[in-house]
């Protein structure tokens, strides 16, 4: 025998499994990572009493202004992120919900991920030195460059390491500082040929930059749109695709000339 149910009754019965799913989701961990603005570091300064950039074998300049690399802070690879955390982050400009695999693409244990990130940082530092020396037309064996930045992993500081080396060796190319005395922040990976790559999390990094006094933010051109979504007041975006772009834009900014914008 078939029994006809009213529409309201049918909907009510259908809602039971849906509510049950929401109940499970509220307590089940989700495949996301939560991120927020992290620290920034002036690559022209010191880190725990040691210069971030040390150069031997050639004269260096005394610099003014700051070149601040930026970071994000994310929940750990084994942290449980639940639906309440996700919903809370949706309503905050200083938080972001990111796919777990986009932050930790290599998988593995926390120690394995930390090792991978530190390896990426070392490779990034080597690329940065090569890119800077190539840009300046100096043979790689002519100077000894040591980069030191504790407690930071990953490749996203590459562009700013390269800019720091350029500023310490050549400044703006005509006796002035590459920064023009400003606090410049930004992000971007770099290859030995000077090509700048995207990094992710830029809308959070702009907040960290402005918090720490930056008025200019260099961003990989491919991430201009994301960088502008939560852009803090008083922070100017400058898109870059190569180290040469970045140096040219900072020189133009110092001289009051036209500078690219997102």
pLDDT of residue 84: 76
For residues 191-209, average pLDDT:
95
pLDDT tens profile 3-18: 444 444 444 444 444 4
Measured CA to CA, the distance from residue 189 to residue 253 in angstroms comes to 22
Residue of 219 and 30 predicted with greater confidence: 219
Structure tokens that stand for 246 in this block: 């970045």
Percent of the chain at pLDDT > 70 equals 82
Element holding 168 (H helix, E strand): helix 158-170
Give the chain's largest Cα–Cα span: 95
Q: How many residues does the chain have?
A: 262
> What's the mean per-residue pLDDT of the chain?
84
Confidence of residue 33 (pLDDT cuts 50, 70, 90): confident
pLDDT at 143 over 80: yes
Residue 82, CB-side half-sphere exposure with 13 Å CA sphere: 8
pTM score over 0.85: no
pLDDT tens profile 105-135: 666 666 776 676 677 778 888 999 999 999 9
Phi-psi region of 72 (alpha: psi -120 to 50; beta: other; left: phi over 0): beta
Measured CA to CA, the distance from residue 171 to residue 40 in angstroms comes to 22
């Amino acid at each position: 025998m078939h029994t006809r149910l009213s529409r309201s009754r049918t909907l009510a019965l259908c809602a039971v499994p849906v509510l049950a799913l929401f109940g499970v989701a509220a307590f089940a961990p989700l495949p996301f990572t939560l991120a927020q603005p992290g620290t920034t570091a002036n690559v022209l300064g010191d880190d725990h009493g040691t210069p971030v950039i040390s150069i031997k074998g050639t004269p260096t300049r005394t610099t003014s202004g700051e070149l601040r690399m930026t970071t994000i802070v994310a929940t750990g690879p084994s942290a449980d992120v639940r639906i309440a955390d996700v919903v809370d982050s949706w309503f905050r400009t200083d938080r972001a919900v990111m796919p777990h695999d986009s932050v930790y693409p290599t998988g593995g244990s926390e120690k394995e991920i930390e090792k991978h990130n530190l390896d990426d940082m070392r490779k990034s530092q080597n690329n940065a030195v090569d890119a800077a020396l190539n840009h300046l037309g100096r043979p790689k064996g002519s100077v000894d460059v040591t980069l030191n930045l504790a407690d930071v992993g990953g490749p996203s500081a590459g562009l700013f390491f390269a800019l720091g080396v350029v500023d310490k060796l050549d400044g703006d190319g005509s006796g002035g500082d590459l920064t023009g005395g400003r606090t410049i922040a930004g992000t971007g990976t770099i290859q030995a040929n000077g090509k700048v790559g995207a990094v992710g999390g830029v809308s959070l990094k702009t907040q960290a930059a402005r918090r720490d006094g930056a008025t200019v933010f260099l961003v990989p051109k491919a991430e201009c749109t994301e960088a502008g979504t939560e852009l803090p007041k008083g922070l100017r975006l400058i898109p870059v695709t190569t180290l040469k772009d970045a140096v040219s834009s900072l020189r133009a900014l110092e001289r009051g000339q036209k500078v690219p914008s997102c």
